[in-house]
Amino acid sequence: MNTNNEPELDKNNSGSKTKITLKNIIKSFSGITVLNDINLEFTSGEIHGLVGQNGAGKSTLGKIIGGHYKLSSGKIFLNNNLIKKWSSKIALDNGIAMIHQELALVPDMTVYDNIFLGIEENYYGIIGKQNTKLFNDLDQKIGFNLDPNQKVSSLRIADQQKVEIIRALARNARVIIMDEPTSSLTNDEVIKLHDLMHKLKKSGYLIIYVSHFLDAIIEVCDKISILRDGNLIRSSKIQNETKSSIVEAMLGTKEEIAFPNKKKDKIFDKKILELSNIRTYTGVKNVNLTINKGEIVGLLGLVGSGRTEILRSIFGIDQVQSGSIKYENEITNFKKVEDAINKGIVMIPEDRRKLGLVFTQNTKSNISITNLNNISKNQVIDTQKEIKLVKDLINLLDIKPTSPNGNIAFYSGGNQQKVLFAKWIFNSPKLILLDEPTRGIDVGAKRKIYELINNLSSKGVAILLVSSELEEVMGLADRAYLVKEGETINEIIPYQTSIDNVLFELFGAEKVSNE
């Protein structure tokens, strides 16, 4: 079946140059545009960085080139030939391999088996002997020194990444897309990875490097394309950019989404929640924060900084390893979610599909599920009361479609989010843990959610807000904490500082590069 796995690491015998051209690429997920009219060109022999804020579309663009997402519209040219069908399989056949943030290896198989998975040398389906020479050739040219017989599950993440890279090379890939490859590497490993990328580049490979670590991008890339809100801001040589010019381009001047007016002189003095030196098994290392009644407190940080984990530890999903959580002047490290809910804490999770809604049930059941005790007698649900309650909430939040029996699986993201809010606000919670409340929803729904958040806080509800959209936290929160690598590093008053300052502090503090 499979004949030639010989890698061509030398420029001399490769000959073929790869050029990928994107023309008017548009990508939208259920009506929301995440990439808008992207025109870009990539050529072999370069390392091309894709940068942008969380949600700017850089990963999506990488996945489109790698064939993992279908285009909504637009054209891809490979060496000036228009590509008609595109999938990850076809991309791979054409020498384009993608290495994902979450590695896609079979943990229980060996390094060797993983590398040649799907392209094993075989005789009518019977797998042949391990081709040690082939493996060694590959391994030595890159200098990884991997043991082919080790199980992948016993390797560290950095080594697993190497397996992925060799795997791409074994398939004669000429283009390698790396999505946030450094997020789980140590500084030392990052340096090695960058060395390797240089080596590959010199041998005529094209590397597309998706990352939000600007220092790393500046150090290693030849070209860089900056995305913001799904638009390509510019594509230029790295020599023409500085860190601050990149950050500025990433930020831009946004079209104003009107945030509800804040009373800036409001005084909050009724403490409801206090976290001291919280540490968890999930990566929260040292978190100190307080929230008062009626206050909106934001957590600002990059993806993976531990913001969600902080919410989870308060809510009793993740156990607290050390430190104390004081709620309403009582030490309460909740062990169970029920306990937190009974005390008036609710969490509106980021992942609506996985953690928020029950898609096999209609809108009515999803909304009333947390309120059943109020509308039932001896465990029997009063359906009249239920319908009334649900209809009131649907009207209040302007949920569409308005039918209580609607199938929420087909609702827009914004309306699903409203259903999620509706589910909780009837119970008059005292503290709401809000994780990415406006992810993937349109401007109209966003405005409605902002209003709602503000109304709740003016009624005395305390809100802890996590959002990757800095503007959102800056516009809504009375106070905010900067979170970095599981620690609260600073406390700010949003209207007294600027987004730029915050961004520089968050990005500037990243210690990735080797100076």
Partner 1 sequence: MNSSQIINFCRDYAVLILIVLLMIVLTLSSDAFLTPRNLLNILNQNAPLAIIACALTLVIIVGGFDLSTGAIFAVASVSSAWIAINYNPYIGLLIAPIIGIILGYLNGIIITSFKVHSFLSTIATSLVFRGLAILITGGFLIPVRMKEFTWLGREKIFEVHVAVYILIVFAIISTFILTRTTIGRYIFAIGGNEDASILSGIKVNFIKIFAFSFCGLAAGIAAAIQVSRISLGTSQAGLGMELQAIAAVILGGTSIYGGSGAVWRSIAGVMLLALINNGFNILNADPFYKDLTTGLVIIAAVALTSGRK
Among 354, 384, 496, 515, binds partner 1 (CB under 8 A): 354
384 touches partner 1 (CB under 8 A): no
250 in Cβ contact with 51 (< 8 Å): yes
Among 14, 286, 370, 454, binds partner 1 (CB under 8 A): 370
Among 155, 275, 311, 317, binds partner 1 (CB under 8 A): 317
Nearer to partner 1, 372 or 509 (CB): 372
428 touches partner 1 (CB under 8 A): no
Nearer to partner 1, 359 or 504 (CB): 359
Which of these, 239, 222, 224, lies nearest to 45 by C-alpha position? 222
H-helix or E-strand spanning residue 40 = strand 32-43
CA distances from 229 to 35, 186, 210, 224, 233 (A): 8, 30, 16, 17, 9
Nearer to partner 1, 16 or 407 (CB): 407
- Which residues make Cβ contacts (< 8 Å) with residue 347, sequence separation at least 6? 311, 312, 315, 317, 340, 432, 433, 434, 435
- Beta carbons within 10 angstroms of residue 504's beta carbon: 14
Task: Report the Cα 461 to chain-centroid distance in Å.
Answer: 28
Q: At what angle do helices 157-170 and 187-202 cross, to 10 degrees?
A: 10
360 touches partner 1 (CB under 8 A): yes
Please count the CA atoms within 13 angstroms of the CA of 416 that sit on its side-chain side.
Answer: 25
What is the Cα–Cα distance from 16 to 1, expressed in whole angstroms? 24
* Cβ contacts of 494-503, under 8 Å, gap ≥ 24: 494/298, 495/262, 495/264, 499/251, 499/470, 499/471, 499/474, 500/247, 500/248, 500/251, 502/300, 502/470, 502/474, 503/247, 503/250, 503/251, 503/470
358 touches partner 1 (CB under 8 A): yes
CB of 381 to partner 1, least distance (A): 6
349 touches partner 1 (CB under 8 A): yes
> Per CB under 8 A, which region of 8-16, 271-279, 300-308, 378-386 contacts partner 1?
378-386
> Per CB under 8 A, which region of 237-245, 276-284, 371-379, 436-444 contacts partner 1?
371-379
Which of these, 327, 318, 331, 328, lies nearest to 279 by C-alpha position? 318
CB of 368 to partner 1, least distance (A): 8
Among 149, 277, 383, 497, binds partner 1 (CB under 8 A): 383
Binding mask 209-248 for partner 1 (x = CB under 8 A): ----------------------------------------
Nearer to partner 1, 77 or 359 (CB): 359
Among 126, 258, 267, 380, binds partner 1 (CB under 8 A): 380
Using CB under 8 A as the binding criterion, the count of chain residues that bind partner 1 stands at 29
Nearer to partner 1, 174 or 423 (CB): 423
CB of 113 to partner 1, least distance (A): 28
> Per CB under 8 A, which region of 92-100, 191-199, 357-365, 445-453 contacts partner 1?
357-365
CA distances from 247 to 194, 222, 301, 406, 503 (A): 22, 18, 15, 43, 8
372 touches partner 1 (CB under 8 A): yes
Nearer to partner 1, 331 or 355 (CB): 355
Q: What is the DSSP string of 51-87?
A: EESTTSSHHHHHHHHTTSS--SEEEEEETTEEPS---
CB of 1 to partner 1, least distance (A): 33
Among 82, 117, 127, 369, binds partner 1 (CB under 8 A): 369
Which of these, 163, 61, 70, lies nearest to 116 by C-alpha position? 163
CB of 38 to partner 1, least distance (A): 35
> Per CB under 8 A, which region of 133-141, 169-177, 285-293, 364-372 contacts partner 1?
364-372
Among 12, 80, 253, 379, binds partner 1 (CB under 8 A): 379
> Per CB under 8 A, which region of 132-140, 269-277, 319-327, 342-350 contacts partner 1?
342-350
Question: Residue 342: what are its φ and ψ, rounded to 5°?
Answer: -60, -30
373 touches partner 1 (CB under 8 A): yes
88 touches partner 1 (CB under 8 A): no
DSSP E strands in 191-286: the ranges are 206-210, 223-228, 231-237, 271-280
Please count the CA atoms within 13 angstroms of the CA of 50 that sit on its side-chain side.
Answer: 30
Do you find a cis peptide bond into 401, omega within 30 degrees of 0? yes
The token duo for 297 is 């407190």
> Per CB under 8 A, which region of 64-72, 242-250, 373-381, 494-502 contacts partner 1?
373-381
Nearer to partner 1, 370 or 412 (CB): 370
374 touches partner 1 (CB under 8 A): no
368 touches partner 1 (CB under 8 A): yes
CB of 340 to partner 1, least distance (A): 8
CA distances from 445 to 131, 349, 379, 434, 448 (A): 58, 17, 35, 16, 5
Interacting residues toward partner 1 by CB under 8 A: 315, 317, 337-338, 340-342, 347, 349, 354-361, 365, 368-370, 372-373, 376, 379-381, 383, 423
